Structure 1
Amino acid sequence: MKSYIVGVGMTKFEKPGTRAWQYWDMAEEAGTKALADAQVAYEDVEQVPVGHCFQASTAAQRAVYAIGLTGVPVYNVNNNCATGSTALMMARQFVEGGISDCVLALGFEKMARGALGAGADGGDFASSPVARHYGIMAAAHGFEATPPTAQIFGNAAREHMERHGTTERQLAAVAAKNHRHSADNPNAQFQDVWSVDEILAARTVHRPLTKLQCSPTSDGAAAAVVVSERFVVRHGLHARAVEIAGQAMTTDTEESFASGSCIDVVGTPMSRAAARLAYERSGLGIEDVDVVELHDCFSVNELLTYEALGMCPDGESGKLVESGATTHGGQWVVNPSGGLISKGHPLGATGLAQAAELTWQLRGEAGGRQVAGARVGLAHNIGLGGAAVVTLLRKP
């Protein structure tokens, strides 16, 4: 059975504390926008998986009750930074499994200012669910007094530079591209354009990563309405529908830890495996993709993900971004929204915001950031601890 996204919505992503709103306010805004976009009433929704990482266990119910009180099942989902795409995957499974015809996937986050701690919960190293990951990093690189997430990805960048000759300018080129893209995205937390030199001159967070190469903490929400083919037909939603052509989630295997490399610990093997499964399930390959929204929590992760998705051989990602192949006019447009670096990264909402951007792109509704002729989109969302979700969307 096929599944389709027929409606999407999101709030503007903002620096924590910018607005005097609560998480249920942002969830109501995103969910209401998605339902209106789908031309669907909340009374048609049969299940609601909701992603969040920092709120209490039944925060999903508090958020959804602001949209409607119909008594349908509401699920609280937490998979670190891959939370939003996990909620989307649950919605797809409900539909494709024949359990439901209409599901609302919702994600939100109200975050504190400042860098995350050793895990998405902000806890200390010893109690973190990703202590094994940080332990491998510490064995290879030590543990410094810098933000832990920037540290583990920064060390992955150092390894990539040592192995493949990747340069600091190539890492900065990722951030420059994504900041440039975000200038056309009214929902982005940042809309400033920065040159490679300005990015390199910014404050160092953990060498070689500067502040402008790191995703910020953010407040925001996003949502998608996922329906069956018969629901599309019954409600005449063909013009709104974008098919979920293939999707896969993977978690860590021994490969993530065996090498002792931060490149593997931060999820490259998971991403590679999820991409392979998504390609197999969709019958599509990376050569069919026009537009990509991927998890650039730090600039280096965009380079690692190019390689994991098969966009270039291992070690060639720095050259790929410098060539212009991943921006407008290139083979793919990667992170036209601005990505996590510039659009923002409210953990529970990120994966669904990627789905929203790709839906707008495939419908031709992305305004000044529109990718000409886009027919196939790929979303990549990853969380340490770990989960990697790759989703292929196709305009029928």
Structure 2
Amino acid sequence: MSDEVVVAGVGMIPFTKPGKSDDYDVMGAEAARRALADAGVDYGAIQQAYVGYVFGDSTSGQKALYRLGGTGIPVVNVNNNCSTGSSALYLARQAVESGAVDVALALGFEQMLPGAIQQVFTDSPAALENFERVRDEYFGRPDPSVPNAATFFGAAGQRYVEEHGIDPAVFAHITVKSRKHAANNPFAVFRAPLTFDEVIASPHIYGPLTRFQCCPPTCGAAAAVIVSQEYARKHGLRSGVRIAAQAMTTDFQSTFEGDMKRLIGYDMAAAAAVDVYEKSGIGPEDVRVAELHDCFTTNEFLTYEALGLTPEGTAEKFVLDGDNTYGGRVVTNPSGGLISKGHPLGATGLAQCAELVWQLRGEAEARQVDGVTSALQHNLGLGGACVVTMYRKVDG
């Protein structure tokens, strides 16, 4: 435990629909201020900052942080698709853990447009070109009108349905659960409940996915202040939440061998989770609360198995038995997750971090999971990268 770093402070702003937010720099600066205030640290104490966003010009991170002051510190801009926020956290943790700095800031934000994500640079090779080739070869070329991301995660869900002979309607229960959780989260975009029938009846998107099973484009920002244990002790900061272990993986050769669940990151998640469990000494059987990357219901479903929260082939029972919610074995996405809280790409990983820090502190209010001593985070970016983080509550 002597090498664990401290999450001294977290902050985020309420997520909103596109067109209803402040500009990205205003959102980012406010989230950073909230994290600094929560930590009891001035911006002048930050020695390095890692700022994540997917859609924005180079040095947008500086644009946001210059609102807090000009201190001359290194500001590293990070883009790792939907795992961008956790990638920024990974770098901040690494900087502190290595002894390079005592205090680092991880910040993520996104100012998104309405509608499905589109390729921005159409005059150069698409980053997902290899993924699209495998999808088309093994599952069939989708209608161009279907949102691209939905085709990958919808295809993976459909293959699971066919392989295991389950009712595809099971995925809809995940949205119902996420809305119930989000009802208690003032930061979430969608807090109104949905019934199972409403989720099923919403417009069909692709494979087993309907509209209410897909995360919405969202604007927002979140941040975390990471410090060494010695710095926390010396300055009287709270040090009760530590990063017990963290791993980042990218795609393996198995990603491109025709298994749709592997194409969307199953092996990345599984490998990162094994690494984290071994390093932290905390296994999946010990996890009682988790924030998982539910960009689509099918991905949350598959991630249960990838992370070992339930054995392969048993995710349907895990959902139908209510083991993914309060009163069950692992409360997944108490925040409401990406489907209900929202998914501002660069902010998502740090919003997950904030939720789990609040859970470990006992500050999650109506969302609080009883007896939390460890918490698991999974943040995935297609293309690809996966960051898995285990947090630990420490007395004193």
For the aligned pair, the TM-score class normalised by the smaller chain equals: over 0.9
Assess if the C-alpha contact under 8 Å between 1:170 and 1:319 holds in 2.
no
User: What corresponds to 2:329 in structure 1?
Assistant: 331
Structure 2 distance, partners of 1:222, 1:345, is 11
Does the Cα contact within 8 Å between 2:284 and 2:308 map onto a contact in 1?
yes
Q: Corresponding residue for 1:394?
A: 392
- Equivalent-residue separation in structure 2 for 1:261 and 1:116 (angstroms): 24
Match of 1:385 in 2: 383
Contact 1:103 1:227 in 2 (8 A): yes
Structure 1 Cα separation of the partners of residues 34 and 110 of structure 2? 17
Shift of 1:289: 1.2
Residue equivalent to 2:240: 241
Matched with 1:181 is 181
Q: Distance in 2 between matches of 1:126 and 1:314?
A: 39
The answer on whether the counterparts of 1:27 and 1:106 sit within 8 Å (CA) in structure 2 is yes
State the partner residue of 1:218.
Answer: 218
Task: Give the equivalent residue in structure 2 for 1:133.
Answer: 131
State the SS of the aligned residue for 2:293.
coil
Show the 5 A alignment for 1:340-351.
340-351=338-349
Shift of 1:373: 1.3
Superimposed CA distance per residue, residues 174-202 of structure 1 (whole angstroms, 9 cap, x where no aligned partner): 11111110000000011011111110011
Q: Partner of 2:226: helix, strand, or coil?
A: strand
- Look up the SS of the partner of 2:363 in the other structure: coil
**Aligned residue in 2 for 1:208:** 208
Aligned to 1:45: 46
Q: Distance in 2 between matches of 1:122 and 1:190?
A: 27
Shift of 1:124: 5.3
Alignment partner of 1:78 is 2:79: yes
Output the CA distance in 1 between the equivalents of 2:351 and 2:323: 23
Deviations 1:202-250 (A, max 9, x none): 1111131011100011000000000001011011123x53100000000
Letter in 2 for 1:246: A
TM normalised by structure 2 equals 0.96
Q: Which runs of 5+ in 1 are unaligned?
A: none
C-alpha displacement of 1:36? 0.3
> Shift in Å at residue 283 of structure 1?
1.1
Give the equivalent residue in structure 1 for 2:360: 362
Alpha-carbon spacing, 1:74–1:210, altered in 2? closer, same or farther (3 Å): same
Q: Is the 8 A contact 1:172 1:299 kept in 2?
A: yes
Cα drift, residue 264 of structure 1 = 0.8
Amino acid in structure 1 at the alignment position of 2:30: E
The one-letter code of the counterpart of 1:159 is: R
The residue correspondences of 1:236-275 to structure 2 (distance < 5 A) are 236-238=236-238, 241-258=240-257, 260-275=258-273
Q: Indicate the residue corresponding to 2:312 in structure 1.
A: 314
State the alpha-carbon separation in 2 of the partners of residues 269 and 64 from structure 1: 36
Residue 154 of structure 1 pairs with residue 159 of structure 2: no
How many pairs align?
390
Asked whether the equivalents of residues 125 and 131 of structure 1 are also in contact (C-alpha less than 8 Å), the reply is no
Name the residue aligned to 1:16: 18
Q: Indicate which of 257, 268, 277 corresponds to 1:279.
A: 277
Residues 1:111 and 2:109 are matched in the alignment: no
The question of 1:297 aligning with 2:298 is answered no
Q: CA deviation at 1:123?
A: 5.0
> Matched residue of 2:244: which SS?
strand
- d(CA) in 1 for partners of 2:363 and 2:163? 41
**Is the CA contact (8 Å cut-off) linking 1:205 and 1:211 kept in structure 2?**
yes
The CA deviation at 1:251 is 0.4
Residues in 2 aligned to 1:389 and 1:197: alpha-carbon distance in whole angstroms: 34
1:281 CA displacement? 1.2
Separation in 1, partners of 2:60, 2:240: 30
Q: Which amino acid aligns with 1:56?
A: D
Find the aligned partners of 2:259 and 2:116 in 1 and give their Cα distance. Answer: 23
For the residue of structure 2 that corresponds to 1:6, the secondary structure is: strand
Alignment-mate amino acid for residue 229 of structure 2 = E
Tell me how far 1:308 sits from its aligned partner: 0.5
Please tell me the residue identity of whatever aligns with 1:218.
T
SS of residue in 1 equivalent to 2:326: coil
Alpha-carbon distance, 1:272 to partner: 0.3
Query: Could you say what secondary structure the match of 1:245 adopts?
Result: strand
Q: Where does the alignment leave 5 or more consecutive residues of structure 2 unmatched? A: none
Higher mean alpha-carbon deviation, 290-299 vs 203-212, is at 203-212
Residue 319 of structure 1, CA deviation: 1.4
8 Å CA contact 1:217–1:345 kept in 2: the answer is yes
- Deviation (angstroms), 1:143: 2.3
Partner Cα distance (1:264, 1:144) in 2: 22
Cα distance, 1:116 vs structure 2 = 1.1
- Distance in 2 (CA, whole Å) between partners of 1:50 and 1:26 is 13
Question: Residue 81 of structure 1: SS of its match in structure 2?
Answer: coil
Q: How big is the shift at 1:276?
A: 0.5
What SS does the aligned partner of 1:216 have? coil
Deviations 1:341-360 (A, max 9, x none): 00000000000000000000
Partner of 1:391: helix, strand, or coil? strand
TM-score (norm 1): 0.96
How much does 1:364 deviate? 0.4
Cα offset, 1:126, TM superposition: 7.6
Q: Kindly state the Cα deviation for residue 296 of structure 1 after the two structures are TM-superposed.
A: 0.3
